Amino acid sequence: MAPAFMVSAPGKVIVFGEHAVVHGKAALAAAISLRSYLLVTTLSKSHRTITLNFRDLGLNHTWDIDTLPWNVFHQPSKKKFYYDLVTELDPELVDAIQPHLEPVSRHLPEDQRKIHVRSASSFLYLFLSLGSPQSPGAIYTLRSTIPTGAGLGSSASVCVCLSAALLLQIRTLAGPHPDQPPEEAETQIERINRWAFVGEMCIHGNPSGVDNTVASGGKAVIFKRPDYLKPSIVIPIPQFPELPLLLVDTRQSRSTMTEVAKVGELKKAHPVVTESILNAIDQVTCSAQRLLEEPDFVGDSKETLAHFGTLIRINHGFLVSLGVSHPRLERIRELVDYADMGWTKLTGAGGGGCAMTLLRPDIQPEVVRDLEQKLDSEGFTKYETTLGGRGIGVLYPAVLRTGSDEEGGVEIDQQKFENAEGPEGIEELVGVGYHEHREGWKFWERAT
């Protein structure tokens, strides 16, 4: 029986270019150190079931492997192989899994149940595409430190985890290992990314492909979609530096569709002015890209931070002009500016959601404490994170080594993983960045 193993993928923020990207301009998105973690526990041969246990969502459902619609997925005209590029869902395959989604979380109100059903559909579509009737029974337990519905790519992070786990189970991924040639690592990342995109289509219908690309390869990407009838143009930026970031959730719900429509209406009413603002946002993204591509670029220099910081401030000003900020977002910016801790902008659709602050170096601890107290007292939730970190990682087997070989390591079993309390507990138990000296996690790395 295969040992339990774990995979992990990051969330993301849009650093530059939100809203402009909807109108065919460039945007830059980067990985953050908030992550999803998926534990795969293989069952004995007599157990012919698969269980999806998304603990933090309250989703827990089991299917009988032998009753799944293999006959439809394995028709010669329908069968996909792990190396195939799938750019759209097959309506017949989508229909075939519907009866298996009907029993999922029936007891919940429809708006909550919808989230569970989309997650389950993503999992089943991938499992049936990549697996076989002989696939072993398994429990897929997911925990995440990424807040949902905040524009931080939580669903793509999950899809990347599912894609990597299923590809590992069918033994079509090699590595990651220190001697892996960069082109081989690139192929593996792209394979994970392609199938994660299929999962994202099950959840979002017509995703840009940005979130899953960042979650797969980490670091950052430049992307644009000048023609909505064609796929997005996505360019990885493996030289993107790791930078200190403060994320603050306004806890103000918002609708991406509403905010996008707002800019569309503004463009109708003031076409020339709005187009000028969108072009200016595009130039902000291009300025960041030019800096990153300079041959003598130094990622952690004060000059780099100041350059990015200025662009962040400018970008936010343009987004305010488009009417997509919110008093809660402006309050965060006001508090951070008053403390002189860094450069702040909204990230994502705006109208609520999150603000991101690129932190200045050498901030005094008492200044940080004071800001934290103010944010807390006004009902904001903060996350200290890092921008531009690693992408998909694997812990195989699910054992974290903490010292010498004689000491062995900590086995991450189902119970320990489920009982971890909140984001802090998850990070402490399995977090990829929690202890630098903990061995075990390995990552596929894009060539720089």
Pick the more confident residue, 178 or 141: 141
Angle between helices 154-169 and 210-217 (to 10 degrees): 60
Residue the block writes with tokens 């081989």: 184
Residue 348, SS3 per DSSP = coil
Exposure string (b/e) for 304-337, b if CB count within 10 Å is 16 or more? bbeebbebbbbbbebbbbbebbbebbbbbbebbe
pLDDT at 96: 95
* Chain centre to alpha carbon of residue 224: 18
The predicted structure's pLDDT at residue 438: 56
Tell me the residue type at 298.
V
Beta strand pairing call for 220-224 and 27-42: antiparallel
Q: Are strands 138-144 and 49-54 parallel, antiparallel or unpaired?
A: parallel
386 vs 438: which has the higher pLDDT: 386
Q: What is the pLDDT of residue 375?
A: 96
Which of 124, 126, 105 has its CA nearest to residue 116?
105
Q: Catalytic residue numbers?
A: 211
Q: Which residues contact 25 (CB under 8 A, 6 or more apart)?
A: 17, 224, 278, 279, 281, 282, 285
Query: How is residue 158 written in tokens?
Result: 């999950």
pLDDT one-digit tens code per residue, 294-323:
888 887 788 889 999 999 999 999 999 999
List of domains in the chain: 5-238+391-443 (3.30.230.10), 243-387 (3.30.70.890)
DSSP 24-93: T--EEEEEEEEEEEEEEEEPPTT--EEEEEETTTTEEEEEEGGGS-HHHHTSTTT---TT----S--HHH
User: How far is C-alpha 383 from the chain's CA centre?
Assistant: 15
Of 100-109, 195-204, 229-238, 330-339, least confident by mean pLDDT is: 229-238
Percent of the chain predicted with pLDDT > 90? 66
pLDDT digits (tens, 9 = 90+) for 76-95: 888 888 888 888 899 999 99
Give the model's pLDDT for residue 437: 44
pLDDT the model gives residue 431:
84
Report which of 247, 227, 233, 204 is spatially closest to residue 10, judged by C-alpha positions.
247
The whole-model pTM stands at: 0.90
Q: What is the pLDDT of residues 246-290, one digit of tens each?
A: 999 998 887 888 898 999 999 999 999 999 999 999 999 999 999
Judged against a pLDDT cut of 90, whether residue 399 lies above it is answered with: no
When the pLDDT of each residue in the chain is averaged and rounded to a whole number, the result is: 91
Average pLDDT over residues 328-340: 96
Under 8 Å between Cβ of 40 and 140: yes
Higher pLDDT, residue 231 or 305: 305
Give the pLDDT band (50/70/90) at residue 149.
confident
Structure confidence by residue, pLDDT tens digits, 11-56: 999 999 999 988 999 999 999 999 999 999 999 999 999 999 999 8
